[in-house]
Chains A and B, each alone.
Chain A
C-alpha cells in the first residue's frame, strides 16, 4: 500500500462518514455525508466467517500449545538448508517441511503451523498433502500472506510491508486450500527513529490486512516486529512498543476488525541486541506483561510471541517467566528459529537422521508447551539450545 494514499484518505474523513453513515440507521437531516456507504460496510466486519474465526483463534490459543512458524521464503529456507550443506531445491525444501510436520505427536504442543505458499500446495513424496498431515495432527494450517518488506520513501531508511494488492483473492484461494489463519510481518526499527510515518504505515497496513483476512475466512496474526537491532535499553523498547501497539489497536478498531478473531505476534520487550545491559527473563517478563496490560484488550484470545533472534533457551525461559501467573489472554509462542535450530542441525539432510531431528523438534516444542503453562524447569537442555541466534540486520 503506497504511503501516498494515507494522505488522500484522511482517517478523519473516513471516520466521520463511518460514524454517521452506517447502513443500520437513518441519518438525520443535517448530517454531512462524504460518500455513500457501500452495503458491505456493515458493523459485523467479519461477515459470514465470524463464528469460525473466533473458534479458530480459540483453538490456536489453547492451553499448553503454540505455533510452529515455518513460513520462510524460498530464499531464506535456502539459507537454512545451506547451513547444513544442502542445496536450495524444491525437493530439499519439501523434505525438510515434511520432516517438521510429520513429527509424531507434534499436535500435543503445536496448535498451528505457518506455511509459505509453496508448502501450502505441496505434498509429501508419497503424495499426501501437507495440509492434510497437519489437520490429522490437530494442527491448524496457516499461511504467510504478505509480500515482504521494501524501503519506505520519506522515512529514515525504514521499511514498509507490501501485500494488500490482490490480498482478498489470495486469501480466499488459501482458504480453499485449507488455510485458516494467516500472517503478515512488518517491522519497526528503533535505531532509525522510529519515525511516526513508519509506525503509522506499519499499523495501518496491519489493520487493513487484518480486515481483508477476516473477510475471507482467515484469522489474521498481527505482527509488528520491533527489531532487536540496536544498542537501546529496555526502557526505550518499552516506550516504542507502547506507541506501536496503541496505533495498531486504534486502526484495527477503525477497520472494524473483530478482536475475538485475531492473534497477535509481538516481540518481547528486551534491550537492544547491542545494549551492554542484559535483562533476566523476569525483567523481560515484567516489562512485556506491563506492555500487554496497557495495550491489549482482553477480547484478543492469544498473544503468540516471536523469538526474533533469541536463543532457543532464552525464548523458552522468557515465555515461562511470563506465565507464572494467570493472564487475561493466552500468552504463548510462535517460534521459527527457536524451534527449528537444533532440529535442523540434527538432521544434517540425512534420511537416517530424520527420527532424531523430529525428536529434537518435539523436545523444543514440549519445552515451550511447558513454558506456556508456566511449568518449564530447564532440565536436560543442551548447549546447542543455549546458543544465541541473533543475526544483525536479519532478513527473512
Chain B
C-alpha cells in the first residue's frame, strides 16, 4: 500500500468527525459532502464475529498455527527427510488435524489456503474435522512481506488487493477467522514509516476482514533479531501498539470481534542478558495494560523462535493472576517441533506424532490457566528454535 494514500486518508478522517450520517448537523458542516458512515463497522456479521472471538478466547485453550506457506512447510518436511509434495503436506496436516481430543486444548487453527480446501485421505474436509472438535478454522490472508521503499531496509506486508473477495470466499469455505502477519525490526530502527505502514495495513485488513465475516487476528511481530535490551523492546512495543489501536479505531474496527497476536516483550536474541519468565511476563503485561483496551477478548501470543518450553513457561508466568483479557497462545513451531521429530514421516509413527501434539497442547492449556509445571518435559522441548533472519 503506497504511503501517499496516507495523506489522502488523513484528509478523509478530518471530515469524518463532522459528517456523521447519524447526528443532526448544525448549519455549516465542514469539509467534504457527507459520506455514508456506519458506526457498527462490522455490519451484518457483528454478532457472529463477537461470538467467534469469544469462542477462540475460551479458558484453557489457544490456537494451533499451521499456516506455513508451501515453501516453509517444505522446510519442515525437509528437516525429517521428506520431499515437499502436496501429498506430504496433506499427510502432515492430516496428522495434526485429526488428533483425537485436540479440541480440549485448541480453540482455533490457522490454515494455509491449500489446506483450507484439502481433505483427509478418506475424503473428509479438514474444516469439518476441525468443526467436529469445536476448533474454529482460520486462514492466513496476507500475501507476504516485501521490501519497503524509503525505509531503512525494512519490510511491509502485502495483501489488501482483492482481500474483500478472497475473505468472502474463505468464509464460504468455512473459515471464521483470518490472520495477517507484518513485522517490525528493531535493529533497522524501526523507522516511523515502517511502523505506520505496518499499523495502517493491519487496520485496513482488520476492517475488510470483519466486513466479510472473518475475525481478524492482528499480528505486528516485533522480531527477536537484534542485541537490544528488554527495555528497548518495551519502548518499541508501546509505540507500535499505540499506532495499531489508533488506526483500528479510525477504521471503525469492532474491538470485541478481533484477536491480537503480539510477540512477548523479551530481550533481543543476541542480547547478553537472558530474561526469566517472570521478567518477560512483567514487561509484557505492562505493555498490554498500557495499550490494550479490555474490549479485546483475546491476546494469543506468538512464539517467534522461543523453545517449546520457554514459550510455555512465559505464558504460564503471564497467567499467575487474572487479566482483563484472555491471555493465551497461537503457536506454530512451539507446538509442532516435537511432533515432527516423533513422526519422522513414517505412518507407523503418526500416533506418536499426535501424542506429542497433545502433550504440547495440554502443556500450553495449563499455562493459559496459570497451572503449568515443567516436570517431565523432554530435552527437545527445551531446545531453542530461534533462526537468525528467519523468514516464513
Contact = CB atoms under 8 A, between A and B. Distances in A.
Interface centre among B24, B187, B239 (most CB of A within 10 A): B24
B28 A156 contact: yes
Interface in A213-242: 231-233, 235-236, 238-240, 242
B255 A239 contact: no
A268 B141 CA distance: 39
A196 interface: yes
Contact of A294 (B14, B20, B236, B293): B293
A231 B24 CA distance: 8
Contacts of A12: 192, 196
Interface residues of A, number: 49
B263 interface: no
Interface in B275-333: 286, 289-295, 324
Q: Is the interface of B mostly helix, strand, loop or mixed?
A: helix
B39 A196 contact: no
B239 A196 contact: no
A49 interface: no
Nearest to B15: A196
Contacts of A391: none
A353 interface: no
Given A19-B192, A22-B235, A28-B187, A328 B294 contact: yes
A156 B290 contact: no
A299 B291 CA distance: 8
A31 B194 CA distance: 13
Contacts of A297: 289-293
B239 to A, nearest CB: 6
A233 B295 CA distance: 23
Contacts of B29: 193
Contacts of B245: 246, 249-250
Contacts of B196: 12
Contacts of A31: 152, 189, 191
A259 interface: yes
A296 B292 CA distance: 8
A220 to B, nearest CB: 16
Contacts of B188: 28
B286 A299 contact: yes
A12 B7 CA distance: 11
Interface string A162-198: 0000000000000000000000000000111111110
Contacts of A238: 39
Contacts of A22: 232, 235
Interface in A1-30: 12, 15-16, 18-20, 22, 24-25, 28, 30
A253 interface: yes
A243 B14 CA distance: 11
Contacts of A104: none
Contacts of B293: 293-297
Contact of B22 (A156, A191, A235, A296): A235
Contacts, number: 129
B299 to A, nearest CB: 12
Given A297-B289, A297-B291, A328-B294, A196 B17 contact: yes
Contacts of A24: 231-232, 235
Contacts of B191: 16, 19-20, 31
Contacts of A249: 242, 245-246
A156 B190 contact: no
A292 B133 CA distance: 35
B252 to A, nearest CB: 9
A271 B279 CA distance: 46
Contacts of B192: 12, 15-16, 18-20
Contacts of A196: 13-18, 30-31
B26 interface: yes
B295 A193 contact: no
B17 A194 contact: yes
A191 B17 contact: no
A15 B242 CA distance: 12
A296 to B, nearest CB: 6
A335 B257 CA distance: 35
B193 interface: yes
A193 B22 contact: no
B78 interface: no
A206 to B, nearest CB: 15
B20 A156 contact: no
B246 A235 contact: no
A70 B23 CA distance: 34
Given A19-B195, A293-B294, A193 B26 contact: yes
A232 B231 contact: no
A199 interface: yes
A199 B17 contact: yes
Given A239-B39, A299-B290, A192 B26 contact: yes
B250 interface: yes
Contacts of A260: 290
B228 interface: yes
B295 A250 contact: no
B142 interface: no
A43 B236 CA distance: 11
A378 interface: no
Contacts of B239: 15, 18-19, 253
A19 B255 contact: no
Contacts of A43: 231, 235
Contacts of B249: 242-243, 246, 295
Contacts of B83: none
A240 B25 CA distance: 13
B18 A236 contact: no
B11 to A, nearest CB: 10
Nearest to B27: A156
Given A19-B190, A259-B290, A293-B294, A250 B17 contact: no
Contact of A254 (B228, B242, B291): B242
Nearest to B248: A246
Interface centre among A192, A194, A250 (most CB of B within 10 A): A250
A43 B228 CA distance: 15
Contacts of A18: 192, 239
A298 interface: yes
Nearest to A13: B192
29 contacts: A16-B191, A16-B192, A19-B189, A19-B191, A20-B189, A20-B192, A28-B188, A156-B26, A193-B30, A196-B16, A196-B17, A196-B18, A233-B22, A236-B20, A236-B23, A239-B39, A246-B250, A249-B242, A249-B245, A250-B242, A253-B242, A254-B242, A259-B289, A293-B255, A295-B249, A297-B291, A297-B293, A298-B294, A299-B286
Enumerate the 5 nearest inter-chain pairs by beta-carbon distance, A residue then B residue, closest first.
A16-B192, A253-B242, A246-B249, A196-B14, A299-B289
Given A20-B189, A156-B28, A259-B290, 5 more contacts: A20-B192, A24-B235, A156-B26, A253-B238, A295-B249
